[in-house]
Structure 1
């Protein structure tokens, strides 16, 4: 009568877990707690089978050290637990101190426990894992106790399998959502690439006109005319804009950097000259403190773009004028 009552109580409590949660970790914690309480034993542990390396992983326990959870792996067929899983049969040992099949895993702190009842968890022919109960004193597990743990094992095998399936579905759903997001992002980038190519095509003609006009002006400017350096600067900047346009055209296919030895001071001087009128108009005084530097290896156009961006940021930070050093 007591056995039947305990069995019904265990099945009822475990059955309630299905409606409460589909989180595998939470279910396992509740199962070991329920089993330990109903069977009045010192330890209850659940090991789940990992088919990737044929090992059993300690996933939940009452009585063993908490640090062991997730950190203990037992090979299939190893020790009493591994043997129960491999053979698919219950293993009961009154005193493991006298059983050669037993192995001790120090991290679990199980040295003080003598008896063990190990029952495989199976769903049809699928290996789910093992549920163990242990006691400090040597104990002959009664037929009713063995039947109770076997009944619990049968009940939770399906529950664990369903919880795992649910988690795999959630994982698959998240992966599908991420893949969908990446696809949308890819389509956006492709559309942006097409737009960039269209804009670049429209910009090329006016840039070609500017360059042609500047070159014509250069030919008509005397070498002694101080404005000649500004005309050269216009041509250089139009060419740089042309390269930026090329970058836009190749937006979907990034262009490789062109590294060469360049004079950093020369690039800074050109950038200052390019924006000298803007700086003067905004009342910003430039103090040049350029020291002699060795040639550096860099992409000249990209380096110049960095310098110009820093300069523009400085100008934006001083709307009422001021001073800055380069």
Structure 2
């Protein structure tokens, strides 16, 4: 299969690249509007020291909602399941990721950690007396999982998101009114927008996916995340990871995955490989158009579906 990755990845990328024309970049965050919509890249990591990559695989981009997977893991490490799931539920939602509708009808408790309201509630739980401490703890986790000690965040993107976070502010104030969060809203948003702006490339994502795929251990068998937490995280990736396209994605691709509006997607094939995708042209639900097609082709060609 190692040889097949090298031989086939470039062909698969070029075959699906035309789908980039069917989407558009996330222009509601001004800094993300600068992305080249024709960009498409993939990396696959099998734990043997080499990432097999094709396309613009060295291009840097921000995690955006992919960070929700990592903050969930860190919150579970900090507090355990019972405390975390008092603040956020475990159920998928058919609503957009930034919807406030379900908060109003479910006693203000967000349905799951992969929507914005749920991710904000989870971020509120991360230990640390300041944004800097919380962010550094999260960055240390990302650095360990990706194997790259220089991972940091993009200040321009973070500031752009903070300045335009009107709906997320509304979600926070609603949850504060109902006791889900109890800290200053702008302090929480400062941390949240900076975590979304953590900058990676496809190789980094593939290695993060590999750790999740393999029970929280890296390729050397070093335990980074407890096994049960990695299992929980992968389950949420299956049920909620691709916004309100998660059901269709499970049928067509069948791999635990989480997308972000930068165009990134991280995938974790249980007890197997990690995959990182970047394609900033998005569909109407916020997922990479060509990235979804690319994963569908990879899953079919290599028989990766867990179902």
Give the TM-score normalised by the residue count of structure 1. Answer: 0.20
Structure with higher Rg: it is 1
Which structure has the highest helix share of the two? 1
Bigger RCO of structures 1 and 2 (CA < 8 A, at least 6 apart): 2
